[in-house]
Structure 1
């Protein structure tokens, strides 16, 4: 009887435990504190958010934390002058998120085209790059004014797919669509990704 209890305990114990992951936001080498994930379905992750202006990198932020499997994603949001690229690396062992996330690839044009804004005019052409297979339109509010932004995005970064349920950054309106120049329509959705925030903020303040 005691042997059976021991065997069941050994078998069931791993299912009851959750991972411990590093949690921090900062440089490539930050480790911060150790955090126990809230449930068995979470993984340890390190994410890299690189922001660019006119092709030059202006920010390179690293985050380590527990995340759901659907948040282990990567992609880009490209508004022409400004762009944000996200890479991530997820793992399923205690404190395994010590290695940095990879550097974003150097993308090349993929043949897709979307509308882009220059001031209040949103009729310019933007050549999408890499895995940017959607067009995106966004309205953001800054300083009491609304600003329209249009460009290209990877499907993983769009709010109408599962990866879009990452924590919203701020109130705004955004929509993604597929097809060349499909982002001429009005915007009706009301969710904007946390990962888009550095890009949008840079564009508004520039």
Structure 2
């Protein structure tokens, strides 16, 4: 009898302890409809916000809410010079606690690191990285049937591919990252998958 109680406890405990969180699927307009979702065990409730700037103007501001693993509760940015996209998140550990939006990211001051950036077909210009952008990045997007190369700075979490929050309907793009000043002039040694930032930037830059 004690064994049966123990087995039932093991089976039912994760479900009993699982969080219920607000889920909000984002749209490019910035609005979304909130629903309640029961989250997998060992996850948190989270809000994420992706904001892009170019020339001092805000290009878009997209918000989402859902369940989140601990490694998804991060701050990150990617900077191509002509535009910079910031991702902020806010996580919590009680039922339906993710009522508030994640705070809007702000552009940080230069951190001393430098990477190459592209102006059209000229990818020899240098770019000062900001905040926690500790990697150089090189990626290729397709715009109007043509491939366009983008180079710049990125946070480690974007390069490692551990940030798995995705905006539905937007697919990822292949990219490569490296560490060291101006290391993104050729093929780099670390590959990852940029899950949503590059497509969003290409959508804005080339639409």
Q: Which category of TM-score, normalised to the shorter sequence, fits these structures?
A: 0.7 to 0.9
CA gap of 1:185–1:50, structure 2 versus 1, over 3 A, is: same
| Number of residue pairs the alignment of both structures matches | 200
Q: Contact (CA 8 Å) 1:23, 1:65: kept in 2 or not? A: yes
Instruction: Structure 2: give runs of 5+ residues left out of the alignment.
Output: none
Equivalent-residue separation in structure 1 for 2:96 and 2:122 (angstroms)? 48
Q: 1:84-117, CA deviations, whole angstroms, 9 ceiling, x for partnerless residues?
A: 1000011111111001212213400111100000
Equivalent-residue separation in structure 1 for 2:143 and 2:96 (angstroms)? 39
CA gap of 1:172–1:101, structure 2 versus 1, over 3 A, is: closer
Equivalent-residue separation in structure 2 for 1:61 and 1:75 (angstroms)? 15
Q: Give the superposed CA RMSD.
A: 2.9
Instruction: Structure 1: give runs of 5+ residues left out of the alignment.
Output: none
Equivalent-residue separation in structure 2 for 1:91 and 1:130 (angstroms)? 24
User: Could you tell me how far 1:121 is from its partner in structure 2?
Assistant: 0.9
Equivalent-residue separation in structure 2 for 1:12 and 1:170 (angstroms)? 36
Q: How does 1:94-109 map to 2 (within 5 A)?
A: 94-109=95-110
Q: Contact (CA 8 Å) 1:82, 1:202: kept in 2 or not? A: no
SS of residue matched to 1:59: strand
- 1:180 maps to which residue? 181
User: Could you tell me how far 1:192 is from its partner in structure 2?
Assistant: 2.4
CA gap of 1:47–1:118, structure 2 versus 1, over 3 A, is: same
Q: How does 1:1-206 map to 2 (within 5 A)?
A: 14-17=13-16, 18-24=18-24, 25=26, 32-37=34-39, 39-158=40-159, 161-167=160-166, 169-170=170-171, 172-186=173-187, 189=191, 191-205=193-207
Equivalent-residue separation in structure 2 for 1:12 and 1:124 (angstroms)? 58
User: Could you tell me how far 1:176 is from its partner in structure 2?
Assistant: 0.7
